[in-house]
Structure 1
Amino acid sequence: MSSPSSSPPPPPPAHAVFFPFPVQGHVASALHLAKLLHARGGIHITFVHSERNRRRVLRSRGADALDGVPGFRFAAVPDGLPLDDGDVDAPPPGMVPLLVSIRSTVQQFKDVLDEAAAAGEPATCVVSDMDHILLAAGEMGLPTVVSWLPSACSLLASQHYQQLIDRGLVPLKDAEQLSNGHLDSTVVDWVPGMPSDMRLRDFGPFVHTTDRHDAVLTMYLFYMDCLRTMPSAIVLNTFDDLDGDVVAALSRLMPPAVYTVGPLPQLAAAHVAGSRSPVDALGASLWPEDGGCLEWLRGKPPRSVLYVNFGSIVVVTREQLVELAWGLAGSGHNFLWVIRDDQAKAKGGNPIDMLPREFAEETKGRGYVTSWCPQEALLRDEAIGAFLTHCGWNSMLDGICNGVPMLCYPLGADQQTNCRYARTEWRIGVEVDEDIRRESVARMVREVMGGERGEEMRQCAVKWKEKAAMAVAPGGTSWVNLQRLISEVFCSRKDP
């Protein structure tokens, strides 16, 4: 029996359970945040993968990739999708099916929380970017934090989707408005914190619909409502100098506290690796990375190579691939091109086999084609002169943090909004025509790699690189905001 003067036992450590939307960009960024909270705040972490992604991480990183370290463990739940032709390592068959199927995982996720409680380490917070997971955590009495991993500007745009509907701009009157210039000519000048010449096109594909009851738009509207009412905090993967007006507008619009703690890869590199934490070695690449591309860059002149990568989700048509290939050939520049095995709706084999045989002969010695690569390391190489990108947010930040100008070819999600900001606000990018043609690609590559416009963009990109480095340095805005996030949200809580 304890004496009256005995002090009570200390409470268990804060324990955050992460479950990001199970695609490469979201998983990688969420893991950086989890590692920062563990290394800098002593917060225990359970990081939940989809079962499909768990197998893919093991395949790409080895059998011990998910062993974890003290205070940092991994768990997995099904994603609700059938296996593709029995291939347990295949990526999910598209974004929309995954958006729908992942909603079936609520009970399995609750089981993870119950197992943690039964093991004597109950969750004290759930971190996710999926509304059904946030709702499930709320039903169990747990605080929630949103890890918003697309861009801040896309979040601000998305928070005004309902107003686009109320003002009669969405849905579109007919399918013709998708291609007759209507999206470009319709100006949306009333969103606080955004430029006064935003176009309807810049608000992205979720509102480019003729159906008021479009299932994805309806799902997204519900998600935006949840973000305004449920979480105790929203974490943004950006930094204040880059998105100050947007973040200020979000802070006025949304009751949850908003924390800018990006760029997350650079913040983690500075403050996880620097702390010699064992979590530094934890990774989440869903594809085996080809280190040979870095070797191929060795000895190439500075700024002589165009890097091409459309990310982990986008699927382009065979015609788009062929036009892009001949555009690269016609540009006369060196290039390093990532083509995922599934990207051209083809499976297996060498990615170069997806292209005309004549293309390989035409570009021999100045082109390198692979299925995946260590992008952050590659963009740091001085041989990279520009980045042809789909404008996914992780890729945009990787380019910004390495001072690399961009050719923007947005294809979905937040990418149109990101492209707009890259072109007109940050002045680091040009947009490739939606109807991609080889002559246009060749001209734009030459312009960005060696022209006056490209040099102007490069100078802007270098300035943003310097500001990003300042943000993640000790005492920088993102470093300070991370410390605030740890103390105000994760380590200042009532035990459930």
Structure 2
Amino acid sequence: MGDLGDVVYKPRNGHGLVLFPLPLQGHINSMLQLANILYSQGFSITVIHTEFNSPSLSKFPHFTFRSIPDGLSGEGHSSISDMGILTLLSALNVNCVEPFRMCLAETLQSNSDASKDRIACLISDSVWHFSQRIADELNIRRMELRTTSISSFSGFSALLSLHKRGYFPLQDMKLEEPPMELWPLRLKDLPILETENPEELYRLLESMVKELKGCSGLISNSFEELEPAKLNESGGMEVPVPVFSIGPFHKYFPASSSSLLKQDKSSLLWLDKQAPNSVLYVSFGSLASIDAAQFEEIASGLLESEQPFLWVVRPGLVHGLDLLPGRFMGAVSGRGLIVQWAPQQEVLAHPSVGGFWSHCGWNSTLESICEGVPMICMPCFGDQRVNARFISHIWRIGLQLEGKAQRGDIRNAIRRLMMSEEGEEIRGRMRNLKAKVDYCVKPEGSSYDALQSLTTHLLSF
């Protein structure tokens, strides 16, 4: 995604679009990247966003932004963090219904003037499970943006099916089972969110599946060579609407950050001093959290690997630990760098980076593929488990750490990826996949063609 100067606007018969991102880092990134792509195709863009985690408006002067109250903006950061992801999503889906309805209605009315672009379509994040109902009420077409992989849709659908068949709660003895309808996933790979109220999760998933069936199409931040159309049918659940796989979104324009956290650019200067392909980049995203015991194992495994590393330790990553132990910081000196947040796309593109230890969020997975950097997978929740399984066992471009990995497991995984013949084979497969993604967004590539089809589809509304 790039600045306005990188995005060429082609006027298109007065068609406008309203985009409604979910206010979480990865979801905001994807929606604003999509906004730039569609703007380049000639659509004027209005973004409706919550006050909570509001995007940086100054970086997108070519869009119109409208803010709605969300019932959370008065809460302290710690109280929101304590909610848990599922409770946060449920609260947003209750609090934002009426504010969104009013804002969308006002936007449609204000754009009905002949001098303005007519709003042709609403594009909302798949987690906003009330948005189809409101689109129907206001007589506007809606498309859905799925910021996770297409494969994860099958995982969510299978989760609902297995729940109805009494598979839950899962027993330890069942976790390794690979039911036929789940292949290549095991039960332990299903996209579950940790919650004390599992019925709340199933209600959310049911609402999301229902919303998808009523929309006019699905926009996917993926590409055909990575997730062929046949994957839409895995889990016995075919996506019931047209799918436009136009990703990876960030490949269309030079990177421009929409990060909610301040990036530490000093990491790039440190990388400049390291040998090619020598550094392991470690980051578990903007939402994951680990306990102090797991942190100790990770830190010890990094040190025992004897491999240079760049580690993102953001505030809130480690429960019960406010400061890194002095003994660890002393041991790191000279061989590793710890920062609170890094410019990830630039880090992964740096020639010194030879591996990425990741939580396997979908944006991070795509960014690693686009730069040809093999992965170590440590999924934390949700679709990350699905992604990790595909990375390690289907695409075979990384290794997976299972469960609460111990320092010895971590040390060995790092050495396998960074120093062994097996690691070189993984790196070769990743290079081949990178070549495919480089081609897919060029003329005659699969994502390029899908974008032309999406543009035609939107212009038909």
User: How does the TM-score come out when normalised to structure 1?
Assistant: 0.83
2:232 and 2:130 map into 1 onto residues whose CA distance is: 27
Please say which of residues 133-142 and 388-397 is displaced more in the overlay.
133-142
2:165 and 2:91 map into 1 onto residues whose CA distance is: 32
Q: 1:23 aligned to 2:24?
A: yes
Name the residue aligned to 1:277: none
Give the alignment's Cα RMSD to 1 decimal. Answer: 2.5
Aligned with 2:53: secondary structure?
Answer: helix
How far apart are 1:412 and its partner, in Å?
A: 0.3
Q: 1:74 aligned to 2:74?
A: no
Q: 2:101 aligns with which of 106, 110, 115?
A: 110
Q: 1:290 aligned to 2:264?
A: yes
Q: 1:257 aligns with which of 235, 238, 242?
A: 242
How far apart are 1:183 and its partner, in Å?
A: 0.8
1:312 and 1:137 map into 2 onto residues whose CA distance is: 31
Paired amino acid for 1:243: E
1:402 and 1:152 map into 2 onto residues whose CA distance is: 21
**Deviations, residues 6-48 of structure 1 (Å, cap 9, x unaligned):** xxxx997221111122101111011111110011x21111112
8 Å CA contact retained: 2:348, 2:368: yes
How far apart are 1:108 and its partner, in Å?
A: 1.3
Please show how residues 90-169 of structure 1 align to structure 2 within 5 Å: 93-103=83-93, 104-120=95-111, 121=116, 122-128=118-124, 129=126, 130-169=128-167
**Deviations, residues 107-135 of structure 1 (Å, cap 9, x unaligned):** 21122223323433553211112211232
Q: 1:363 aligned to 2:332?
A: yes
Name the residue aligned to 2:8: none
Q: 1:232 aligned to 2:216?
A: yes
**Deviations, residues 375-400 of structure 1 (Å, cap 9, x unaligned):** 11110111111110011111111111
Work out the number of aligned pairs and report it. Answer: 442
Aligned with 2:376: secondary structure?
Answer: strand
Paired amino acid for 1:319: A
Paired amino acid for 2:214: M
8 Å CA contact retained: 2:129, 2:211: yes
8 Å CA contact retained: 2:278, 2:308: yes
Name the residue aligned to 1:398: 367
Point out where structure 2 has 5 or more consecutive residues left out of the alignment. 1-10
Query: Alpha carbons of 1:332 and 1:218: their partners in 2 closer, same or farther (altered >3 Å)?
Result: same
Name the residue aligned to 2:45: 45
8 Å CA contact retained: 1:389, 1:407: yes
Paired amino acid for 1:183: L
Name the residue aligned to 2:280: 306
2:351 and 2:82 map into 1 onto residues whose CA distance is: 35
Aligned with 1:150: secondary structure?
Answer: coil
Query: Alpha carbons of 1:46 and 1:209: their partners in 2 closer, same or farther (altered >3 Å)?
Result: closer
1:233 and 1:92 map into 2 onto residues whose CA distance is: 35
Q: 1:332 aligns with which of 282, 306, 329?
A: 306
**Deviations, residues 144-191 of structure 1 (Å, cap 9, x unaligned):** 11100111111122122332134432343xxxx1xx34211x221125
8 Å CA contact retained: 2:354, 2:373: yes
How far apart are 1:92 and its partner, in Å?
A: 8.3
2:237 and 2:403 map into 1 onto residues whose CA distance is: 35
Query: Alpha carbons of 1:84 and 1:436: their partners in 2 closer, same or farther (altered >3 Å)?
Result: farther
Paired amino acid for 1:65: K
Paired amino acid for 1:188: P
2:78 and 2:304 map into 1 onto residues whose CA distance is: 38
2:435 and 2:100 map into 1 onto residues whose CA distance is: 41
8 Å CA contact retained: 1:162, 1:221: yes
Name the residue aligned to 2:226: 242
Please show how residues 198-217 of structure 1 align to structure 2 within 5 Å: 198-206=185-193, 214-217=199-202
Query: Alpha carbons of 1:85 and 1:190: their partners in 2 closer, same or farther (altered >3 Å)?
Result: closer
2:74 and 2:411 map into 1 onto residues whose CA distance is: 39
State, as a whole percentage, how many aligned pairs show the same letter: 31
Query: Alpha carbons of 1:11 and 1:116: their partners in 2 closer, same or farther (altered >3 Å)?
Result: farther
8 Å CA contact retained: 1:147, 1:234: yes
How far apart are 1:435 and its partner, in Å?
A: 1.4
8 Å CA contact retained: 1:92, 1:98: no
User: How does the TM-score come out when normalised to structure 2?
Assistant: 0.89
8 Å CA contact retained: 1:170, 1:210: no
8 Å CA contact retained: 1:385, 1:449: yes
Aligned with 2:59: secondary structure?
Answer: coil
Query: Alpha carbons of 1:135 and 1:336: their partners in 2 closer, same or farther (altered >3 Å)?
Result: same
Query: Alpha carbons of 1:152 and 1:28: their partners in 2 closer, same or farther (altered >3 Å)?
Result: same
Query: Alpha carbons of 1:252 and 1:154: their partners in 2 closer, same or farther (altered >3 Å)?
Result: closer
8 Å CA contact retained: 2:313, 2:338: yes
2:43 and 2:354 map into 1 onto residues whose CA distance is: 40
8 Å CA contact retained: 2:221, 2:245: yes
Aligned with 2:144: secondary structure?
Answer: strand
Query: Alpha carbons of 1:145 and 1:111: their partners in 2 closer, same or farther (altered >3 Å)?
Result: same
1:235 and 1:247 map into 2 onto residues whose CA distance is: 15
How far apart are 1:246 and its partner, in Å?
A: 4.4
2:77 and 2:355 map into 1 onto residues whose CA distance is: 39
8 Å CA contact retained: 2:150, 2:232: no
1:140 and 1:97 map into 2 onto residues whose CA distance is: 28
Paired amino acid for 1:233: G
8 Å CA contact retained: 2:302, 2:410: yes
Query: Alpha carbons of 1:472 and 1:91: their partners in 2 closer, same or farther (altered >3 Å)?
Result: farther
8 Å CA contact retained: 1:20, 1:27: yes
2:323 and 2:306 map into 1 onto residues whose CA distance is: 21
Paired amino acid for 1:486: T
1:11 and 1:399 map into 2 onto residues whose CA distance is: 34
Name the residue aligned to 2:14: 13
Paired amino acid for 1:244: P
1:232 and 1:85 map into 2 onto residues whose CA distance is: 38
8 Å CA contact retained: 1:385, 1:404: yes
